[in-house]
């Protein structure tokens, strides 16, 4: 009877020791988990986001212009006047066609280069969230542009552009086409696709200069004296994209510029 009691007592002691040991080990694991260093945030994607080169980027601009012209043919035919001008409907249709060309071709290139789904297509073209510091870069770009524009007007010539707004009819339509559609489509094409592709092979400044030259040069039909300021504007928008990692600040700045130009007309 004593032996049985002694064995039972020993088993109880061993059981208590085991429970205490497991409790200590569990507490140690919990303490280690609590004191472990937090997981580092995922690094920001490397700029540029484009995976096409300069050749594809420049060809994309040509294709975007060609696509806009083809899409504009029906509007140009339907809105043709005997004197050679276009009706309001014809002007609106051709402007919309141009904007569609500037959007469709960059998206097609991003998709052809492996972007899966609309979300990735837009991210490759720079349509990404931006940090609050972007507003500081936007302010710096505005100051730089105003300094150049003022010096250009005083020392060389006051830039003049053709007033295309009145050809679009009602003011809401003018705002839609000039203040909203043009900045979104042009930034997608010239910054997201063109500058993004140029940056794959070229350093920042040369790529921004080429992007600005193409952007400004294509506006020559609105007034040759306005080309140099627009080249500088395009150059600054490229650098803004580089610094912020998003074309959205450039779209906002472009909208502001076009709003001021529309009010001036």
pLDDT over 80 at 41, yes or no = no
Q: List Cα–Cα distances, 65 to 90, 102, 224, in angstroms.
A: 17, 7, 19
State residue 16's pLDDT score: 54
Q: Which two tokens stand for residue 254?
A: 């472009």
Q: How far is Cα 74 from Cα 64, in angstroms, rounded to an integer?
A: 17
DSSP characters over 39-56: PPPPPPPPSP---S-HHH
Lowest mean pLDDT among 19-23, 73-77, 172-176, 207-211: 19-23
State residue 137's pLDDT score: 98
pLDDT over 60 at 17, yes or no = no
pLDDT tens digits, residue range 217-231? 999 998 999 999 999
Would you say the pTM of this structure is higher than 0.85?
Answer: no
Percentage of the chain modeled with pLDDT above 90: 76
How many alpha carbons lie under 13 Å from residue 91 in its C-beta half-sphere? 18
- Residue appearing with tokens 């400044």: 205
Q: How far is Cα 123 from Cα 133, in angstroms, rounded to an integer?
A: 20
Q: What angle do CA 31, 34, 36 make, to 5 degrees?
A: 105
Q: Domain ranges in the chain?
A: 54-264
Average pLDDT, integer, range 175-202: 98
The model's confidence at residue 163, banded by pLDDT at 50, 70 and 90, is: confident
Give SS3 for 235.
helix
pLDDT over 70 at 19, yes or no = no
Q: Helices (H), strands (E): how many in the chain? A: 11, 0
Q: How far is Cα 215 from Cα 67, in angstroms, rounded to an integer?
A: 17
Mean pLDDT of the chain: 88
State residue 46's pLDDT score: 86
Rg (CA), the chain: 30
pLDDT tens digits, residue range 219-263? 999 899 999 999 999 999 999 999 999 999 999 999 999 999 999
pLDDT over 60 at 141, yes or no = yes
Q: How far is Cα 183 from Cα 103, in angstroms, rounded to an integer?
A: 11
Q: Residue 211, class by beta-carbon neighbours within 10 Å (0-12 exposed, 13-18 middle, 19+ buried)?
A: buried
Nearest to 253 by CA among 147, 162, 144: 144
Lowest mean pLDDT among 79-93, 103-117, 239-253: 79-93
State residue 242's pLDDT score: 97
Contact by Cβ (8 Å): 128, 191:
no
Element (H, E) at 76: helix 54-78
Lowest mean pLDDT among 28-42, 121-135, 165-179: 28-42
Contact by Cβ (8 Å): 229, 212:
no
Give SS3 for 130.
coil
pLDDT tens digits, residue range 57-70? 999 999 999 999 99
């Amino acid at each position: 009877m004593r032996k049985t009691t002694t064995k039972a007592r020993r088993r109880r002691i061993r059981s208590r020791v085991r429970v205490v040991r497991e409790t200590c080990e569990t507490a140690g694991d919990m303490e280690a988990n609590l004191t472990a260093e937090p997981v580092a945030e995922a690094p920001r994607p490397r700029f540029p986001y484009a995976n096409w080169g300069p050749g594809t980027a420049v060809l994309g601009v040509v294709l975007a212009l060609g696509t806009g012209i083809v899409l504009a043919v029906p509007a140009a035919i339907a809105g043709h006047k005997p004197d050679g001008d276009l009706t309001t409907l014809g002007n609106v249709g051709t402007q919309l066609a141009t904007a569609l060309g500037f959007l469709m071709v960059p998206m097609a290139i991003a998709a052809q280069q492996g972007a899966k789904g609309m979300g990735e297509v837009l991210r490759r073209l720079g349509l990404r969230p931006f940090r609050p510091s972007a507003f500081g870069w936007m302010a710096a770009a505005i100051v730089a542009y105003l300094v150049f524009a003022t010096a250009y007007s005083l020392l060389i010539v006051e830039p003049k552009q053709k007033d295309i707004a009145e050809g679009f009819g009602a003011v809401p339509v003018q705002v839609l086409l000039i203040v909203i559609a043009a900045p979104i489509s042009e930034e997608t094409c010239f910054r997201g696709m063109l500058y993004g592709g140029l940056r794959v092979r070229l350093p920042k400044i040369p790529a921004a200069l080429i992007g600005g030259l193409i952007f400004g040069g294509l506006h020559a039909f609105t007034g040759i004296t306005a080309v140099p300021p627009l080249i500088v504007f395009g150059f600054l928008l490229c650098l803004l994209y580089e610094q912020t990692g998003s074309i959205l600040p450039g779209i906002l700045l472009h909208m502001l510029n076009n709003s001021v130009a529309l009010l001036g007309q």
